[in-house]
């Protein structure tokens, strides 16, 4: 969370708000994920939600970069976790309206951007065949497909 806190942001607005489960609320957070994600996330240590503050504090205008900046904060959190021997896993498969209610967010002010887990890397044998096939191979587009000089 400290790494996320130091992320760069448009106008230094720092629009990220991070909500994470505790031991007592873990199951409640788990129930805010789609079923496919609950199947593996039940074994993680922490479930979190990244929430964006939609407007700039200094002038009240919509912040078009709020979600982008939350992405930067998510990556900072991820890299810091990795440095500490932990792993993160992003999740789009989350129940946004239910999360908004559960966290008592104001939809006019707050956007639920994504969910994430933090935990230790488990053995692939823990996964269903379907999920294991999604993990390997773990590839990326070639540089030529994404970089235009």
Ligand X SMILES: Cc1cc2nc3c(=O)[nH]c(=O)nc-3n(C[C@H](O)[C@H](O)[C@H](O)COP(=O)(O)O)c2cc1C
When the beta carbons of 56 and 80 are compared against ligand X, the nearer one is 80
- Does residue number 73 form part of the binding site for ligand X (CB under 6 A)? no
Contacts of residue 99, defined as CB under 8 A and 6 or more positions apart, other chains included, come to: 32, 49, 105, 112, 115
- The span from the CA of 118 to the CA of 44, in Å, is 7
Binding mask 15-44 for ligand X (x = CB under 6 A): ----------------------x-------
d(CA 100, CA 11): 26
Of 77 and 91, which has the nearer Cβ to ligand X?
91
Please report how many Cα atoms fall inside a 13 Å half-sphere around the Cα of residue 14, on the Cβ side: 8
Q: How far is the CB of 107 from ligand X (least distance, A)?
A: 20
Q: How many residues bind ligand X (CB under 6 A)?
A: 8
Residue 119 binds ligand X, judged by CB under 6 A: no
């Amino acid at each position: 969370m400290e790494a996320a806190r130091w992320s760069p942001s448009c106008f230094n607005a720092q629009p990220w708000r991070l909500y994470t489960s505790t031991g007592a609320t873990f199951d409640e957070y788990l129930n805010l994920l789609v079923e496919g994600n609950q199947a593996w996330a039940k074994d993680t240590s922490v479930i979190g939600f990244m929430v964006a503050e939609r407007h700039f504090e200094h002038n009240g205008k919509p912040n078009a970069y709020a979600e982008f900046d939350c992405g930067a904060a998510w990556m900072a959190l991820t890299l810091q976790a990795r440095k500490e021997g932990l792993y993160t896993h992003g999740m789009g498969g989350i129940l946004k309206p239910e999360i908004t209610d559960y966290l008592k967010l104001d939809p006019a002010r707050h956007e639920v951007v994504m969910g994430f887990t933090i935990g230790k890397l488990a053995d692939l044998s823990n996964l269903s065949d379907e999920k294991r096939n999604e993990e390997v191979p773990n590839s990326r587009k070639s540089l030529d497909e994404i970089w235009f000089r």
